[in-house]
Structures are given as structure tokens and as C-alpha cells.
Amino acid sequence: MFVFFAKIAQFHEITKGIPIKRKFANTIKNLYFWKRLQTAEQLPRTPARTVTTYITIYSPLGFDCEDFLHYADIPTLTLYGYTKSDEEDCWFFMREGISTTLYMVRREADAYELHIDNLAAYDDLRLFPYMADTLAKYLGAEISDIDEGQSIYDTFDEEWVEEIISEEVAMLKGTLTVVPRYYLSLPLAEASYVSQESLYEFGVSLHSSTPRIYGYLQYMMRHNLLPSGEFTGELPDEECVEVDIPQHVPIGRVKSWQLDGCETYETYSHEDMQHLLALAREHHEGRQLHGVVLNDIGTLYHEGVGVPTDGKQAIYWFGKALEAGDKLYAPTNMGDLYRKGCEPVKPSLKEALAAYRKSTDPYAHYRIGQSYEEGWCDTPDLAEAMRWYRLAADEGHHLAIKRLKKEEQ
């Protein structure tokens, strides 16, 4: 059991007014510190590390947004909004096609703060130290939150990103065991929140793994699928409550590879499996599901996660996912299933190639190149194989890059 300090009264005050930071800039620190109180007792962490998502800079210089954007020279970074009060100015930024939440520069007198949402896109979290460093140089000042002997890049490194995501997901789990909504701090869409119901739509629960919860939240934010609105329900009267943070207990895992060749695993809990199978039954009864969810159902049968391995069922659900618009994961998984076989489905390179051709995945493009080089369905065609390898390499796939280097040698 973790001791989870939920400042219920403060939460009620914030949610009653909807925590839209670009409208209620004065609630930013309150919401931030409320979150830190909740998180403080949840996870063990090294005292020497700084786990925070904002920095402070003291400078008498003014801030001109257009001038800063030109100075920063960050592709696709644009101003999203601006608010001003008697006490402070707030500028909100995002990167087109990348950001799922906002950056915020807040100025009060000579104090500047740069904030980022703890559930920001991974690429935005990785950019945060550069944004902070650039803002400090633009203002001609030093960042006050950095430990002596450390650079901004040492402090906000990849380990920091992982800790931030882990802590925020743990805090989200704890929050949703106490109150029905978890509001984002710096959302693109006003008053966006996460609920157990919104997670369920994607076969995700509070017992899901951190990567699974974070990944689906990113998908929901990127496609504007999170619910939004003011909270008007009842809340507990207690100032602090003790909560069991739901734990993830895996019953199976699925291996995948990133573009750079790094092996990763997605693990499924018993609750994930139950949710997905329940959604499958509801789909048979007419409920519309997102393609990525239908793909996950297919994955259960393909990999035998909580159910017997069944290639026929997997093909059925991958096909449904493709029909529902999943042109990335489902056709690639279907291609792999046909390429290797999965009882009672026998290997078929012809069917594998047909599936890969429907995919937008760089990995699928590499496999198409392989099919031409090896002559899966016809006479080998090295020139056509190289064309597909170049496409996959341009998209960053490591196997295609490796194959092209071999050809050059």
C-alpha cells in the first residue's frame, strides 16, 4: 500500500473552475504542488535527482514571442495562446504534428518559468532541456533550479523522462481511485480529462502497465479523443486519503522492435485481457471500436495472451482492425502471422505480402523489399527490392538501412 495524499478540497476548487491553464494561469502552481504532494510518497527515487517539470529563470529582460521563436529556431514550434493579468503573463506553445499538450512560459515580475505537462509527448519531454536552455540564453540569465556541477541536459535526461512518465501514471492511477476525473495540466483541448471509462474504451485499466497507459493516452490526445468538461459531481470530504495504487501484474508479453532496432515488450495484465475480450463481445453486438483496440484483440489470439493461440481468430480481428482504419499495426501483424504461420493458419508468403502492402509501417515496407529480393511470389527483382528498401530506410527503419549499407559495400 502507498500513502497517497489527495488534497480533495483543493482538487474540488480547481476542477470546479476547470483547470485550463491558459484561462486560469494562477491555478498552475496550485495544481502543480497538489500533484507533487500526491506523488511524493508514491515512488522511491534517488534524493540527488530532480524530478520536476518546470524551471525558473530570473531576468529583468522582456519577452517578445516572435523574437523568441526566431531565436529558438525549433521547427514547427508555434504560439498556441497568450493570457495576461495584472500579476503575470503566460505564453503557450506547441509543435505541430508532435505535441499532445502545451509548453508554457510564465512571467511574474522578473521571474520566468517554463512548464511542460507531465503527460506530454515523449519527443516534447526530450526537447524540454533544449527549450529551457534556449529560454535562459534568450533572457541572458542562468537557470536557478539546476544542481551545482550539473548541466540542464544532465538534469533533464532520458532517465528523467522515464521517471516523470512513471510518476505521473502512478499519480493518475491514485487519483482515479479517489475521484472520477483526472484533468490534464496543459491540455490542447480545454478541460481535457482521463476517466476509467475513457480508458476502458481502449481496453486499458488502472492495472495496465505504465507504457500501455501512457501510449494510449498519447493516442487519445493526438486524435482528440479525450472527454472534456467541468466536473459537477460529489467529492470526498476528507483532506487526505490513503489509497492502494493499482499494480500491474503481467500475464503475458509481446515483443516488438523500434525503428532503431531496440527490442521492447508490451505486457498485458489479467484486467487488460478481460477488458479486451469484453469489448470483443460488445463489438459482436454492434459496438464500434477503434482499429487499434481491434488490433489488440487480435494480438491476444496471435500471441496466446490469456487465451489459447488461434491464428484464425487473430486474422479475423486484424482484418476488423484494418477495416476500422488501423493501417499501421493490424496489416503488419497480419503479414507477420502469414509469413510465420500460426495454427491453424499455415505460412503463406503470398498472403503475407498482400497484408504488408496495406500497411503504412516502415517495417512492412522493408518486408516488401525482402519479398522482391527473395522472390516470394515471382522472379526475384533486386531493383524493385532496393526501391522498397530505400523507402523504408528513408523512414528510419534499421533493417533497411543495414541492407542498403551492405549493397554499397
Instruction: Encode pLDDT of 41-99 as tens digits.
Output: 333 333 333 457 899 999 999 999 999 999 999 999 999 999 999 999 999 999 999 99
Please indicate whether residue 201 or residue 240 has the higher confidence score (pLDDT): 201
Q: Which three cell numbers stand for residue 330?
A: 493490424
Q: pLDDT band for position 190 (50/70/90)?
A: confident
Q: Is residue 147 part of a domain?
A: yes
Q: pLDDT band for position 233 (50/70/90)?
A: confident
Q: Is residue 390 part of a domain?
A: no
Closest among 363, 25, 6 to 182, alpha carbons compared: 6
> For the domain that residue 49 is a member of, what is the CATH number?
3.30.160.690
pLDDT of 197? 97
Q: Is residue 335 part of a domain?
A: no
State the total domains in the chain. Answer: 1
Closest among 328, 120, 332 to 222, alpha carbons compared: 120
> Which pTM was predicted?
0.85
Instruction: Specify which residues 129 forms β-bridges with.
Output: none
- Tell me the DSSP string of 73-112: --TTEEEEEEEE-SS-EEEEEEETTT-SB-EEEEEETTEE
From its phi and psi, is residue 145 left (phi > 0), alpha (psi between -120 and 50) or beta?
A: alpha
User: Which residues form the domain of 117?
Assistant: 8-165
Look at 176-185, 276-285, 297-306 and tell me which has the smallest mean pLDDT: 176-185
**14 pLDDT higher than 70:** no
**351 pLDDT higher than 60:** yes
Whole-number mean pLDDT of the chain?
86
Q: Is residue 327 part of a domain?
A: no
Q: Is residue 122 part of a domain?
A: yes
Q: Is residue 274 part of a domain?
A: no
| Residue with the three cell numbers 496471435 | 302
Burial of 141 (0-12, 13-18, 19+ CB in 10 A): middle
pLDDT of 113? 95
**4 pLDDT higher than 70:** no
The half-sphere exposure of 291 on its side-chain side, counting CA atoms within 13 A, is: 16
Q: Is residue 235 part of a domain?
A: no
Please indicate whether residue 254 or residue 34 has the higher confidence score (pLDDT): 254
Q: Which residues contact 219 (CB under 8 A, 6 or more apart)?
A: 202, 225, 292
Q: Are 50 and 59 in contact (CB under 8 A)?
A: no
**What is the SS3 assignment for 363?**
helix
Q: How far is CA 273 from CA 155, 308, 382, in A?
A: 38, 12, 43
**What is the SS3 assignment for 252?**
strand
Q: Is residue 249 part of a domain?
A: no
Q: Which residues contact 85 (CB under 8 A, 6 or more apart)?
A: 25, 26
Q: Which residues of 361-376 are buried (b: 16+ CB within 10 A; e: fewer)?
A: bbbbbbbbbbbbbeeb
Q: How far apart are CA 61 and CA 65, in angstroms?
A: 13
**204 pLDDT higher than 70:** yes
Q: How far apart are CA 172 and CA 156, in angstroms?
A: 22
